[in-house]
Structure 1
């Protein structure tokens, strides 16, 4: 993402996981883990929406970590239809827990499904404090309902003209949980021409300090 980005290899359930870590100038107040789009459709940690989410977290003073799911880039293993990819994300989160920082989860498209699934798995002893779902894959994947305690701290954004995941699918998924959805007019799935606005919206959603 920039010259200061650290390239890491983390331990995962299917072998090494390739990751990219960016540290804020000051002591981080949280750690953000960002999940990328569908591995079988070109999704990687370098996706421009994923990088936009990570930049927003970095600007907010958070440690920002992106990673490749199994079988992508230098991550070992192979595609596992979402099951193993959730396990990959859980392993990445576990590796960051040693920092003893509040956890923020985020994901774009298929990565939104993974991030929501991880948030559900972590509910209880070590929950995520915030969640951002950017054009989550609510039609092709079964995105779980979110833990009640996390719903007020969840930001969901979708393009009105999304050609990959219909906006209506995300609105229906969110409505059942009374989750607000920010809809970007005239925006497609990849937020062409809208990335600066997306970053601004994320920073606005994350403006309040986290509870330690």
Structure 2
């Protein structure tokens, strides 16, 4: 993401996981670790996706160490696509590799990555749950995301999303009484609206 991004490999269930770690500015009070998951691997999704990088910049600004990683079969990560099950294991392995004892955790994802994030949140034991979840353009159609904690979860979706219709997100969120923050006129990839997305995340969690 920048000259200070550390590229690394972490151990995963299907082999090495390619990852990138960014640290907040020295002047920012550290708040914990954020781990971000990318969109669908079979449709070109990688940890360098522009929406994921925008999420990373927002969380860096808020003071988190930010780890992005490639799901199995993407870039330098071993393995093959597993429709979310193995990818959940990849995310949990990335957390285990970087989280320090007692460190506050944020999990976030974009599109398919947001779906996998809900699975990982559900899989973590109570004493290791993330303090917050950040779900941007969550995929809610091909498979149903796991329920999420309402008070700790920020959901952001584009009104004009042509990949995951807003109505489908409402159908998932409604039974949970889960608020959804809608960006008017914005499509799935937030073209031309990435600075606004970053500002929205920072304002919501500052």
Question: TM bucket by the smaller chain?
Answer: over 0.9
Residue 96 of structure 1: which of 95, 98, 108 is its match?
Answer: 98
Alignment of 1:103-122 (within 5 A): 103-122=105-124
Determine the structure 2 residue equivalent to 1:58. Answer: 60
Query: 2:125 and 2:114 mapped to 1: Cα distance?
Result: 17
Q: Which residue of structure 2 lines up, in the alignment, with residue 184 of structure 1? A: 183
* Structure 1 residue matching 2:176: 3-state secondary structure: coil
Query: How many residues of Structure 1 are paired with residues of Structure 2 in the alignment?
Result: 204
Two-structure CA RMSD over aligned residues (Å): 1.0
Whole-angstrom distance in 2 between the partners of 1:38 and 1:64: 20
CA distance in 2, matches of 1:141, 1:67: 22
- Which residue of 1 is the match for residue 31 of structure 2? 29
1: CA distance between counterparts of 2:24 and 2:179?
A: 30
CA distance in 1: counterparts of 2:2 and 2:103, whole angstroms: 23
Q: Find the counterpart in structure 2 of residue 210 from structure 1.
A: none
Q: Does 1:8 align with 2:8?
A: yes
TM-score by length of 2: 0.96
Contact persistence 2:35–2:108 (CA under 8 A)? yes
Q: How much has 1:3 moved relative to structure 2?
A: 0.2
Question: Is contact 2:144-2:172 (8 Å) kept?
Answer: no
Aligned to 1:200: 199
- Per the TM alignment, residue 33 of structure 1 is displaced from its structure 2 partner at its CA by 0.4
Deviation at 1:125, TM superposition (A): 2.0
Which consecutive unaligned segments of at least 5 residues does structure 2 have? none
* TM, length-normalised to structure 1: 0.93
